[in-house]
Structure 1
Amino acid sequence: MHIVKHNAATPEQSLDMLPQLAPGLDALADWRLALERDLGALEGYLADSDLLAPAAAATCRALRQRLTSDKLVVAFVAEFSRGKSELINAIFFADSGRRILPATPGRTTMCPVELCWDGEELPTLDLLPIDTRQDGGTLAEWRDRREQWQRVQLDPDDADGLAAALAQVTQVRKVTREYAKALSLWSDEQPSENPPVGEDGLVEVPAWRHAIINFPHPLLQRGLVVVDTPGLNAIGAEPELTLGLLPSAHAALFVLGADTGVTKSDLEVWTDHLGGQGLSCFVVLNKMDTLADPLATPEEQAQAVERQCQTTASTLGIPRQRVFPVSARQALAARLMGDAPALAASRLPELEAALNADLLPQRQRVLATAVISGVASMLESSTRRLRDQRRANADQMLELRGLRGKSAGRVATMLERVGQEQAELEECANRLKAMRLVHAKMNRAAMQCLESDRIRESVLKMQESISSGWFNLGARTAFAKMCTQLRELLDNAQKQVQEVNQMLQALFNQLNSEFAFTLGLTSAPDLGQFKRELELIERSYNRYFSVTRAMRLNSPAYSEQFQRMLVSKLRVVFENASNEIESWNQLATQQIDGQFKERRHSFKRRRESLERIQQATDGLEQRLAEVEVHDARLLEQLDRAQLLAAELRGRAERGPVMDWPQAEPTAA
């Protein structure tokens, strides 16, 4: 993957004019790629040394893929006309020399917009027509059907053309009320949330349902993804925003107007979609310049801003330090003109410093933990494999040294004993075959609890119990009952996994005792994390059973989309749980197969060695020397593998080469 570093400051543009996230993302990306290279070197060395088990290879590939494709997702959430797009321009795109996202009056973003970069695609703007809301299907499903999107090619070197192309996200359409209802964008029960109606009686709706901008901006190339969401109506009309995009973001910037503070609709957005979701939320009081009073002293103006911040924090129930007064318009103009004092006055650098302090170290810790855990697993697997080979070598050297000065009859006796041990190992193979059948049966019982049919059955039962419509007194109870049933499925799967764990542990102990295997069973999967994910989905969906929100669910089109999204989210949770169980079982099976194969090879080598000794009197010392050399080489391989792993762990623990300030506590 080719990555372009963030542009260096020109003589006319000092370093303090650049976005503060730029050097942090540069350092984080360099660190990720360095870890990926180190992992590749460790994987290559272990493979060349025949110490890389299939499960360890799969772990390494997954880690390397995660390091190269890891994204930092920042969502901007606000009601209409809060200056959200201007804030995005000021933080991320001021180096283009002009506004990129439309942010002028009357040109508001009408659909969710994702800004990202995929180096395997051309720079494009992909627009999903609003009509797809009638066809069902979640946004995740539509992503795989890009032929249905309208694609606009972008020229990264043409800032004016880029801005003109991106202005399409503000487009609207005029449709009849009936068609707006079919799109779930009109509700007779909630007239206050309906879009405007023209003199011709037509309803104004967004032209697009979703937009993806694939653009090679340096920050996006370094793994940043910016999600720009429209106002409350659009968020409420698209469940996947609440249940997909926002929960997957690493941070959310909730943008308010400093002149209005927290309005009723702002509070609804916060309560319904942000507060209590576990996101790292930053509240931005934008348009701070509107509080300027020419008749007030600077101290009085500062006090007015601070009062607004305190009131906002109190209303939202968050610490004051999570509220940042900013003037995005002033900051963008300052960066475009290279005016450092004006940029400082906009107070945008304070918000950027907080993002730096909170997001980047947090992402580094998550990735470092994954890498350190993965390397430990790889090294444990390889070390166990190497120990098996050294134990076989030790057995051979003991036998060979015991044969010094012995007669040909003694060698024949040793050959006979090796043959007996081989026969016993083959008998063990037959027992293992029977145990595999038992293991497979027990594993199927666990996997059956997590099949997608179980999810569909639970959702169908819920639908049957609320057949009179989602908006009834029993809907919330039926939904809660369904969630309880799904948790019970996870509990049953966990019980089955524990039984498999006990069976495998007994088998491993038996093989280790009777055949000197060195099998070690890793901890059984803990499905508690998937229960927590299920609880998060339950909390998110429960918001839709309030009196105001539940009315939407009586719309057939919206109800169908709501249910499809629910099934899609639940399927992901259960598939991930199923994959974790399957990976754990495969690791145990591969470990048995690997050691059994190595034991067979060991017997073969011993037999060949003894047969050569039988044929040549000088073969004993020669073979003994060969085994000793092979054992010394294994020790060298172990030392080298441990050195590579230690260097990799050290890089992961040190993190990027950059000093970050300590993050403030994140609001709940």
Structure 2
Amino acid sequence: MLTPSFTAQLDQHTLWRRDFALRLKHLSSWLRDNELLDDATSDRLRGLEQQVRSDKVVVAFVAEFSRGKSELINAIFFSGYKRRIMPASAGRTTMCPTELGWDPELPACLRLLPIETRLQPQALSEWRQLPEHWQQIELDVKDPAQLAEALQKVSEVRHVSVDEARELGFWHEDAPEDNPRVDAAGRIEVPRWRHALINIAHPLLKQGLVVLDTPGLNAIGAEPELTVNLIPQAHAVVFILAADAGVSRSDLTIWREHLAVAPGEADSRLVVLNKIDTLWDALSTPEQVEAQIQRQRDTSAEVLGLPASRVIPVSAQKGLLAKVGNDTELLMASRLPELELALAQGTMGQRQRILRSAVTAGLAELRQDVARSLHARRRELAEQRVELKGLRGKNTAVIRHMQSRIELERAEFDESGARLHAVRSIHLKLLRDLTEMLGAAQVRAQVADLATTLRQPGLKLGASRAYAEAFERLRGQLAKAQAASAEIHAMLAAAFRQLNSEQGFSLQVPREPDLSRFGKDLDLIERSHLQYLGVRNMLRMAQPAFAERVVRALTARLRAVYESALGEVEQWNKSAASQLDGQLRERRRNFNRRIEALDRIQQAAAGLDERIVEIESQEATLDQSVRQLAALTSALMDTSAAAEVRPPLERAEAAA
């Protein structure tokens, strides 16, 4: 039952990634064979390969309880098992945030983090690095029954006292209407697990899809790292409503506090009006049913402030039933293919465009650097050819004089090393200063006042202002780092111009890193935290343990942003340093080749012409290398190449 679905789009993207990886491997081998693979180029190739191989598409499913969220996940991703995999029956639903993905380094398993870890200060990202604290259950992906039974554990609960529920973040005296029900024994039902990680070799998950299944409002709000880190970083958020109820009060709270985006960012949000089969009324005509669905769709879009095109009516249950039973008519009636198409064209299409654009830019810079090295070799050979042709008809004394001149040039070149060392020293000092600006210590310093405000007991009435001031400092630090990188760039440009003039190099400073895009990451983090400061969560923030989790979640996310910025600066530095090292190395090789050539000419009368022919042959080889480089990199940048029929590596070789 083939539809232009999310699955098909992800398959296409995976084929492109595999093709790209093979082409990149071929380019790497070619560079190594031609002695063009320096440290910076090798790092850039590894970065491109890692970027493409590890690229993940994160889709978060968010809903209040009983909206059919888990059933929708089953229908879209797991219908191939011909049964429900995620718990979706009455009273048996996902109780903790659950991530489904694939890590080939791990066995197929379910890992569960106990809810009691909330009582400790570590952020969720830190717990991920402590596997010994997770309960692990092996999964048999070939046995759907065992798989489904094991995954029922994400619906497990515990019954605790009111005091323990308060410590865990599930009970608030200031918001009694949101508190869970107390049973006859005075106990409260809470999730048994804080977070679940499902690692299975499902075809979609192996291709880089990560599905984030979130619990209802009370559980969402109690885990700040979920709402201020994981959900905002998802490439798409699917928000599920019930078609018969529309946007309820708790639905609207989730949307306003956790999911609302700026008007220009609506493409990352899809709203599913689920359970439209409840509106299929035998006493109404199909036209009347359709009109009712359309009214609910328009009303929901208006309340949420979205275009109606972003609200998709669906019956997840009927869609799953249709896929299991191969019932095309029922599948069309469920409208599930419409949702799959929206995910494919929106989420996957946008993600692919961003990734391919980044890869193309990286390849263009790599080609420019390698082409510059080839050009330097070509120029050195041309100078040597002219020099040797000038020796035709000259006697031995002239050749010895030429040898002495080359030795003198080499000595003068070696003496210039002191100036190069001075340039490197200044460069490294400025780089150290820039690195400190983007280090973890600076992150802590910029948010220290905010952390103090959030950790104060009671209501955090000044939290909004503290956030604004902290993020203003963070943006200022980024601007300061950008100014420092501009200073380094200008210094290198002047030094490279002087070296080009004095030594005949062809050095060019790599493009300065653009740190402004990390400012956009800061904007996203700030917005997600400010959304979190609604009345409901301000009451939670009054609890010291909860406020500490918010601080740790914020610090972890900011540290990740600054580490990414620092990584970009380090790559830029390596590119500039390797370019200089490469041309220095090539110049030294050229001195050796010139002296060796003159020695051979002195020993044999025919040596001069032979060496000139040899150089001309090397020049022709370099010209061919330039063409091969262009062909190999163009093939990598050609995003339509994956659609060709021939095997990917064969296509890359043919292009070369």
Q: TM-score, normalised by structure 1?
A: 0.93
Equivalence for 1:153 = 138
Aligned-pair CA distance for 1:466: 6.3
* Structure 2 gap segments, 5+ residues each: 646-656
Aligned-pair CA distance for 1:21: 2.6
Equivalence for 1:129 = 114
Residues 53 and 382 in structure 1, CA contact (< 8 A), matched pair in contact too: no
Equivalence for 2:491 = 503
Pick aligned residue for 2:257 from 267, 272, 279: 272
* Structure 1 gap segments, 5+ residues each: 1-14, 659-668
Deviations 1:45-74 (A, max 9, x none): 011111223212111111112222222221
Equivalence for 2:650 = none
Q: Which amino acid aligns with 2:54?
A: S
Using a 3 Å threshold, how does the CA distance of structure 1 residues 656 and 128 change in structure 2: closer, same or farther?
Answer: farther
Pick aligned residue for 1:606 from 594, 597, 606: 594
Deviations 1:350-381 (A, max 9, x none): 11122222223223222221222222122111
Deviations 1:566-585 (A, max 9, x none): 11111111111122112212
Equivalence for 1:84 = 69
Equivalence for 2:87 = 102
Equivalence for 1:25 = 10
Aligned-pair CA distance for 1:616: 3.0
Equivalence for 2:654 = none
Using a 3 Å threshold, how does the CA distance of structure 1 residues 412 and 470 change in structure 2: closer, same or farther?
Answer: farther
Distance 1:370 1:309 in 2: 37
Pick aligned residue for 1:583 from 567, 571, 590: 571
Deviations 1:122-169 (A, max 9, x none): 211111110111122222211121111111111112211111111111
Say how many residue pairs are matched: 642
Pick aligned residue for 1:636 from 624, 627, 630: 624
Using a 3 Å threshold, how does the CA distance of structure 1 residues 472 and 637 change in structure 2: closer, same or farther?
Answer: closer
Pick aligned residue for 1:255 from 208, 233, 240: 240
Aligned-pair CA distance for 1:465: 5.2
Equivalence for 2:435 = 447
Residues 78 and 229 in structure 1, CA contact (< 8 A), matched pair in contact too: yes
Q: Does 1:65 align with 2:50?
A: yes
Q: Which amino acid aligns with 1:333?
A: L
Q: Which amino acid aligns with 1:592?
A: L
Aligned-pair CA distance for 1:415: 1.4
Q: Does 1:50 align with 2:35?
A: yes
Aligned-pair CA distance for 1:100: 0.8
Pick aligned residue for 2:340 from 352, 376, 397: 352
Residues 258 and 287 in structure 1, CA contact (< 8 A), matched pair in contact too: yes
Deviations 1:367-410 (A, max 9, x none): 22122222212211111111111111111111110000011221
Equivalence for 1:116 = 101
Deviations 1:323-373 (A, max 9, x none): 111111111122222222111111111111222222232232222212222
1:470-485 equivalences under 5 Å are 471-485=459-473
Residues 85 and 103 in structure 1, CA contact (< 8 A), matched pair in contact too: yes
Deviations 1:465-517 (A, max 9, x none): 56743623322212211111111111111111111111100000000011000
Aligned-pair CA distance for 1:461: 2.4
Aligned-pair CA distance for 1:649: 2.0
Distance 1:459 1:73 in 2: 28
Using a 3 Å threshold, how does the CA distance of structure 1 residues 479 and 371 change in structure 2: closer, same or farther?
Answer: closer
Farther-moved stretch of structure 1 (349-358 vs 108-117)? 349-358
1:396-545 equivalences under 5 Å are 396-464=384-452, 468-469=456-457, 471-545=459-533
Residues 140 and 147 in structure 2, CA contact (< 8 A), matched pair in contact too: yes
Using a 3 Å threshold, how does the CA distance of structure 1 residues 68 and 466 change in structure 2: closer, same or farther?
Answer: closer
Aligned-pair CA distance for 1:109: 0.8
Deviations 1:610-664 (A, max 9, x none): 22223332221222222222222212222222222222222x2556579xxxxxx
Distance 1:356 1:116 in 2: 18
Query: Secondary structure of 2:94's match?
Result: coil
Query: Secondary structure of 1:545's match?
Result: coil
Using a 3 Å threshold, how does the CA distance of structure 1 residues 347 and 198 change in structure 2: closer, same or farther?
Answer: same
Distance 1:299 1:466 in 2: 55
Aligned-pair CA distance for 1:546: 3.0
Aligned residues with identical type, % of pairs: 46
Equivalence for 1:309 = 297
Q: Which amino acid aligns with 1:112?
A: P
Q: Does 1:372 align with 2:360?
A: yes
Equivalence for 2:203 = 218
Equivalence for 2:635 = 647
| Segments of 4+ moved more than 3 angstroms | 463-470, 653-658
Residues 453 and 460 in structure 2, CA contact (< 8 A), matched pair in contact too: no
Pick aligned residue for 2:173 from 188, 191, 196: 188
Equivalence for 1:37 = 22
RMSD: 1.8
Q: Does 1:143 align with 2:128?
A: yes
Equivalence for 2:317 = 329
